[in-house]
Chains A and B, each alone.
Chain A
């Protein structure tokens, strides 16, 4: 306890200093606290009245945890949430510190912790969450995480050590995620999309799991939603998509919203409209609803919270600039890119783009992934694209080889310059879609803020 108090004090001190210096204090205080007390994560979460929920996976963890945070708030609880998306263990501890007293007593009563998937094994080893949500596991930043099989193995090894009190909330449509339940002692709740209209029958080129995670036989798909996600089964060992405890019986999408008819294991329960486009946001909503159910929050409360959901930094966030609407889409891997592009094209739009590629650590230093992303589907529809970023020329080349004519493509150096060029080229009623990797999105958003169009995201 003394050690925790000391760690909390040290972390809080670091936070105070950083805030005074005008910097967003998202991770460093946590690093300081962890150095003083390696058990800080357990100490800071075990006194939360409703326990803690870890939300992890390759794509959708930020949106899902924000949805869940809104839901628990609608239920009258006070979430402690690493909202700024700093999702390594130090960022999580920093968020817990920010909402605790100087002795380490929490000011909230439930933890909603977004956890980076590579950090998840370490976080699970450091605490006993009430719920662990895994949205999906795709190939992402291979230079950092290496292979998805190895990542899944290390998460599974951490899950085996969890107590019976922990409930897993897993995506039934993702065989790699489903397989994580294998050694778990506690309950498992599965979610998935049952709408037969969602997805096609053709496996996609970016598939990470064409083989069974258990016996390595090629998996069979009755329906492929995205990459290896879909209605799958293994003809070799019989491993198959589990029954869904919470499913989308139907998903109807429009330009700005998604309506899901929710079905339980035996009956259709209710429908919910989320003000976000795209099938992947239906998955995020299902994950949040399934977790809320485990926490004992009723569906009416949860659906009401989702109906007024506001997206996170770069997740389809909308910014008005000079009469034009900018829609910000963060992309970081081929699956995420394809999902974002799918959401864009579903509505029949001819997008005007600002596309930005960086190759910092947080983006993936290897830019190869753009060649796995489906620029070919996008190419025919692009009205105009301004390309920028530290690796703008690689991105411009990707557009060229996907078939975008040079007359529709401009490479512009400088964040502000790129935005101004796109705004100038667009008509007053046009929408501009900003597609960018993480640090490029930070820089673009910084430029928009400098021009007076958005607030800085950690003020959120």
Chain B
């Protein structure tokens, strides 16, 4: 069995250690004897919608986000949309999350369109949400670190990834964090997210494998070190949000 992971714009959209998510996907598949190929898609190159089982899309600086936002309005965006329609799974974080929504609305400029595969909208906020973030999700508690000023609001087609226990989450108002729609996940959890939230990593690996291999049951791994890191991070978040 093999898994194909596409890292979207690593040179422009990977500034908050989000690379750890790709490392986690890769290692957790390899430890189970699943072969993994990771490719990178860079601005200006062609994206084959047939290839990837799983996309990772991280956060970037404004400069990178502008370039990528424009590119998603062209053929690359269409390919990514086709890939998702064909059963590929996506994990997007921060800037990537915002760009997969319908639009980003700056304070005093026209709205910037997104890919629209998540039913969310983001508006520019005045306050930056920076701190530890703990969320009660469907598969348990998730922990990470948020750093964003955009405020994201969910439409009816998306459901939240979890409820905020510590921190601000999507918008600092409705206690939701992240969005899930089909096999597309978006959220504000840096940290990196997947290494110390292995349940979510495995959910994404299963979703990815399904596309070409049908439903799979993953072998269990010894997650002692992962749980220890998650528990310590939750402890820190509660003591020093």
Contacts and interface: CB of A to CB of B under 8 A. Distances in A.
Which among A148, A210, A397 has the highest number of chain B CB atoms within 10 Å?
A: A397
Contacts of B190: 366, 368
A407 interface: no
Given A211-B63, A216-B63, A366 B229 contact: no
Given A142-B147, A205-B14, A390-B236, A368 B191 contact: yes
Interface string B171-202: 00000000000000000001110011000000
Given A211-B67, A368-B192, A393 B228 contact: yes
A397 B196 contact: yes
A394 interface: yes
A371 B195 CA distance: 10
A46 interface: no
Give the interface residue-count category, chain B: 35 or more
25 contacts: A143-B145, A147-B15, A149-B62, A205-B10, A205-B14, A210-B11, A210-B12, A216-B67, A218-B43, A334-B17, A366-B16, A366-B147, A367-B191, A368-B16, A368-B20, A368-B145, A370-B17, A370-B20, A372-B20, A393-B229, A393-B231, A394-B196, A394-B233, A397-B196, A401-B27
A139 B18 CA distance: 14
Interface of A: 139, 142-143, 146-150, 203, 205, 207-208, 210-211, 216, 218, 334, 359, 365-372, 390-394, 396-398, 400-402, 406, 411
Contacts of A334: 17
A366 B144 CA distance: 9
B73 interface: no
B139 interface: no
B19 interface: yes
A401 B229 CA distance: 13
Nearest to A406: B225
Nearest to A143: B130
Given A216-B67, A370-B20, 20 more contacts: A143-B147, A146-B128, A149-B61, A203-B11, A334-B17, A359-B236, A365-B130, A368-B16, A368-B145, A368-B190, A368-B192, A372-B17, A372-B19, A391-B232, A391-B236, A393-B225, A393-B233, A394-B229, A396-B228, A398-B195
Nearest to A370: B17
Given A393-B228, A393-B229, A401-B27, A148 B16 contact: no
